[in-house]
């Protein structure tokens, strides 16, 4: 009888622990320096006031499927891995193993969407690059702390990397002719034009892609939710059509669009 009571107590405590764990919120990382469409703030000076964007919508969709609340945790770009390894967040989305120094220590979900990096120049200028070689000797606006694998050789030799903390800063420098071009993603460029339609004729986006990469959600080794749980939530969103709606809302390229 005693043995039966012990086993019953163990089973009950396990069930209760699982219930408590799943009642905890899904903690999702975001960065104050993130630009639209990835993060939108009611007030840029109050980073806890994340009000929209891909990270916001994706986190809420995943939390809905997991039947938990969502909590947003700010992290600077340079502290992404520290924040993941410390267990302060469960997941960080819009990431890639190639961008992480310790990628083997994390879990990785299925691919969520594709990134296409492009070059943007002033439409009124004669400089309209359609190959990487045409960037030789030019000043290229880049994001501080961001790694550009396809451009490392060019930066080491004949392209001047000009770092700024935000994409907004790079657009201002382009307008002031302090740089010759900037690099951004297709979705970020179109998101800017939606916010600033008057700029539609001011810029030219290159026809060629500097790079294509796949975005994932990184799962902390101390996450309270497993890779399998996150993947199952993504699968349910795809089956319901909500995933397609998310991609369409932000002009995100599906993974299937990448060159084979």
* CATH assignment of the domain containing 238: 3.40.190.10
Are 108 and 223 within one domain? yes
Are 83 and 165 within one domain? no
17 within some domain: no
Averaged over 56-66, what is the pLDDT? 97
Q: Which domain, by its residues, includes 87?
A: 25-112+217-257
| Per-residue 3-state assignment (H helix, E strand, C coil) for the chain | CHHHHHHHHHHHHHHHHHHHHHHCCEEEEECCCCCCCCCEECCCCCCCCEEECHHHHHHHHHHHHHCCCEEEEECCHHHHHHHHHCCCCCEEEEECHHHCCCHHHCEECCCCEEEEEEEEEECCCCCCCCCHHHHCCCEEEEECCCCCHHHHHHHHHCCEEEEECCHHHHHHHHHCCCCCEEEEEHHHHHHHHHHCHHHCCCEEECCCCCEEEEEEEEECCCCCCCHHHHHHHHHHHHHHCHHHHHHHHCCCECHHHCCC
pLDDT grade for 20, boundaries at 50, 70 and 90: very low
pLDDT, one tens digit per residue, over 131-168 is 999 999 999 999 988 888 889 999 999 999 999 988 99
Are 222 and 97 within one domain? yes
The model's pTM is 0.77
pLDDT, one tens digit per residue, over 185-231 is 988 898 899 889 999 899 999 988 999 889 999 999 999 999 999 99
């Amino acid at each position: 009888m005693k043995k039966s009571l012990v086993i019953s107590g163990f089973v009950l405590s396990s069930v209760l622990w699982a219930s408590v764990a799943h009642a905890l919120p899904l903690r999702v990382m975001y960065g104050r320096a993130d630009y639209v469409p990835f993060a939108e703030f009611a007030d840029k000076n109050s980073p806890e006031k994340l009000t929209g964007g891909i990270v916001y919508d994706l986190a809420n969709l995943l939390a809905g499927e997991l039947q938990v609340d969502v909590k947003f945790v700010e992290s600077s770009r340079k502290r992404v891995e520290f924040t993941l390894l410390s267990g302060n967040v469960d997941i960080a989305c819009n990431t890639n193993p190639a961008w992480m120094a310790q990628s083997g220590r994390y879990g990785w979900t299925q691919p969520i969407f594709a990134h296409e990096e492009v070059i943007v120049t002033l439409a009124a200028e004669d400089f309209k690059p359609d190959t990487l070689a045409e960037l030789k000797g030019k000043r290229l606006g880049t994001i501080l702390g961001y790694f550009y694998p396809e451009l490392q050789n060019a930066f080491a030799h004949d392209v001047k990397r000009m770092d700024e903390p935000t994409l907004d800063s790079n657009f201002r420098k382009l307008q002031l002719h302090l740089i010759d071009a900037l690099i951004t993603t297709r979705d970020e460029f179109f998101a800017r034009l939606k916010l600033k339609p008057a700029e539609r004729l001011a810029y030219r986006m290159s026809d060629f892609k500097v790079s294509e990469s796949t975005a994932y959600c990184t799962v902390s080794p101390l996450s309270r939710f497993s890779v399998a749980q996150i993947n199952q939530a993504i699968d349910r969103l795809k089956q319901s059509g909500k995933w397609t709606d998310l991609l369409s809302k932000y002009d995100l390229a599906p993974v299937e669009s990448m060159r084979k």
